[in-house]
C-alpha cells in the first residue's frame, strides 16, 4: 500500500506503522490521519497481523500534535468534520480487536497524546513528554483527549493536564499509568517489539474479547459489564484456541494458538 506520510512493515505477525513527517515533528495533518485510517484497515484485514506498533520517525517526536497550520484555518463550518475524522480514526485504533502498542519516542502532544491514548498499551522512551497543551492555543483536545485521558489517569490528573497545558515527563507518566513501561530511548523499539512478540503468540480471539469487555464495560454499571464478560467467555469456549490452550497446559507443552 502506498503512503506519503507513513511507513509500514509487517514481520513475524507484527505490523509497524511509522508516522513519517519529521520536518513537522510528525504532526497529524488530514492526509496523515487518512493514511493512518487506511493502515489500520490493512491491519484489520490481514490475518497475518496479530499486533500493531505505532511510532514516530526520528528521535525527537512520536507526534507533536494535530497539524497547527491546518487547525489555524478551521472555522465553525469545517471543525465538526475535522473532529469527526480524528474521532473515527482513533476509535478504529481502539476497536481494532488486535493490541496496538504506542512506542513513544519523544513528544506526544495534543493529537499525538490522543493517538497514544487510543492505543491499547504505551511504551515510552525516557525522553518522552506527554501532554494536551491545546489550551495554550486557545482550543481544546479534539481527538478524544477530553474523554480518554481522564479514564486512564483519573479526573483530577486529567483536568490538571488539560487545564494547565503542561506536558508531563516519562517518569510521571509511568507513575500515573499513562505509560505502561519506560526504557532508554535507544532500547524503545526493542522493548515495544518484545512486548509485541509476547502478545503475538497469545490467543487472538481471547485478546480481542478482553479488549472488548474492558472497552465496552468501562462506563457501564458493574452488572452490565459482567454480562459482556459472560457473553465473551461463552464465545471463547467455542473456539479451537480454548481447546488448544487448556490441552497444552495439561500436556505440559506450549500452546500454539491459531486464532479460530
Ligand atoms: N503542527 C504543525 N507543525 C508543527 C507542530 C504541529 N503540531 N509541532 C511542531 N511543528 C513544526 C514546527 O512549526 C517547526 O516547523 P519549522 O521548522 O517549519 O518552523 C518544526 O515542526 C520543528 O518544531 P520546533 O517548534 O522548531 O521544535 P522545538 O524543538 O523548538 O519545539 C515542540 C518542539 C514540540 C515543543 C514545539 O514544536 C511545539 O510546541 N509544538 C506544538 C505542540 C502542540 O501544541 N501540539 C498540540 C497541537 S493541537
The CATH number given to whatever domain includes residue 82 is: 3.90.226.10
Does 27 sit in the ligand 1 pocket, CB within 6 Å? yes
Q: Is the dihedral of CA 217, 221, 222, 225 positive or negative?
A: negative
User: Is residue 260 in a domain?
Assistant: no
Residues 84 and 111 occupy one common structural domain: yes
Same domain, 178 and 98: yes
Q: Mutation test of ligand 1: which of 20, 31, 65, 133 has the most ligand atoms closer than 8 Å to its C-beta?
A: 65
Same domain, 109 and 213: no
pTM recorded for the entire structure:
0.97
**Predicted pLDDT at 2:** 86
Regarding whether 71 and 185 lie in a shared domain, the answer is: yes
1 within a domain of the structure (yes/no): no
Q: Mind listing the pLDDT tens digit for each residue in 93-129?
A: 999 999 999 999 999 999 999 999 999 999 999 999 9
Share of the chain above pLDDT 90, in %: 99
- Answer yes or no: is 256 within a domain: no
Torsion of CA 106, 119, 5, 142, to 10 degrees: -90
What sign has the CA pseudo-torsion 105, 177, 102, 31? negative
CA of 75 to the centre of ligand 1 (A): 22
Q: Is position 54 within any domain?
A: yes
**Average pLDDT in the chain:** 97
Q: Kindly give the distance from the C-alpha atom of residue 102 to the centroid of ligand 1, in angstroms, as a whole number.
A: 20
pLDDT at 51: 98
Residue 10 banded pLDDT, cuts 50, 70, 90? very high
- At 52, list the grid cell: 500493531
Q: Supply the residues annotated as catalytic.
A: 114, 134
Assess if residue 259 is contained within a domain.
Answer: no
pLDDT digits (tens, 9 = 90+) for 60-86: 999 999 999 999 999 999 999 999 999
- Asked if 36 and 110 sit in the same domain, the reply is yes
Torsion sign, CA atoms 122, 127, 128, 131: positive
Residue 146 lies in a domain: yes
Could you tell me if 125 and 232 lie in one domain? no
Is residue 126 classed exposed, middle or buried when 0-12, 13-18 and 19+ CB atoms within 10 A define those classes?
middle
Cβ(69) – ligand 1 distance below 6 Å = yes
Residues 91 and 176 in one domain: yes
Distance 82 CA to ligand 1 centre (A): 20
Shared domain for 119 and 193, answered yes or no, is yes
Question: Quick one: 194 and 215 in the same domain?
Answer: no
Strands (E), 112-219: 121-125, 129-131, 168-169, 181-183
Residue 170 has a pLDDT of 98
Q: Is 64 in the pocket of ligand 1 (CB under 6 A)?
A: yes
Asked if residue 160 belongs to a domain, the reply is yes
Residue 257 covered by a domain? no
- Contacting residues for 190 by C-beta, under 8 A, at least 6 apart: 183
- One domain, residues 73 and 126: yes
**Residue nearest ligand 1's atom 40 by CA:** 64
Q: How many domains does the chain have?
A: 2
Please tell me whether residues 163 and 75 are part of one structural domain. yes
Q: Is 83 in the pocket of ligand 1 (CB under 6 A)?
A: no
Kindly state if the Cβ of 176 falls inside 6 Å of ligand 1: no
Domain enclosing residue 245, as ranges: 204-250
Q: Are residues 22 and 91 in the same domain?
A: yes
State the pLDDT at residue 21: 98
Question: In CATH, what number is assigned to the domain containing residue 215?
Answer: 1.10.12
Amino acid at each position: 500500500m502506498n503512503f506519503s506520510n507513513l511507513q509500514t512493515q509487517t514481520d513475524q505477525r507484527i505490523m509497524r506503522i511509522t508516522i513519517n513527517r519529521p520536518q513537522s515533528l510528525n504532526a497529524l495533518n488530514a492526509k496523515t490521519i487518512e493514511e493512518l485510517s487506511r493502515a489500520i484497515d490493512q491491519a484489520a484485514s490481514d490475518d497475518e497481523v496479530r499486533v500493531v506498533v505505532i511510532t514516530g520517525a526520528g528521535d525527537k517526536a512520536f507526534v507533536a500534535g494535530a497539524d497547527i497550520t491546518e487547525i489555524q484555518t478551521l472555522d465553525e463550518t469545517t471543525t465538526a468534520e475535522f473532529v469527526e475524522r480524528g474521532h473515527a480514526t482513533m476509535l478504529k485504533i481502539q476497536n481494532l480487536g488486535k493490541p496496538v502498542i504506542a512506542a513513544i519516542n519523544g513528544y506526544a502532544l495534543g493529537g499525538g497524546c490522543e493517538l497514544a491514548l487510543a492505543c491499547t498499551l504505551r511504551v515510552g522512551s525516557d525522553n518522552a513528554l506527554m501532554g494536551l497543551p491545546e489550551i495554550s492555543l486557545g482550543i481544546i483536545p479534539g481527538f478524544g483527549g477530553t474523554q480518554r485521558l481522564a479514564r486512564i489517569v483519573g479526573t483530577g490528573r486529567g483536568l490538571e493536564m488539560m487545564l494547565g497545558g503542561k506536558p508531563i515527563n516519562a517518569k510521571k507518566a509511568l507513575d500515573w499509568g499513562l505509560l505502561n513501561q519506560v526504557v532508554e530511548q535507544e532500547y524503545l523499539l526493542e522493548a515495544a517489539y518484545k512486548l509485541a512478540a509476547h502478545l503475538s503468540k497469545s490467543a487472538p480471539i481471547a485478546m480481542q474479547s478482553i479488549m472488548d469487555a474492558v472497552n465496552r464495560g468501562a462506563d457501564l454499571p458493574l452488572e452490565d459489564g459482567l454480562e459482556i464478560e459472560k457473553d465473551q467467555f461463552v464465545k471463547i469456549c467455542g473456539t479451537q484456541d480454548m481447546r488448544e490452550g487448556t490441552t497444552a497446559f495439561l500436556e505440559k507443552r506450549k500452546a500454539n494458538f491459531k486464532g479460530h
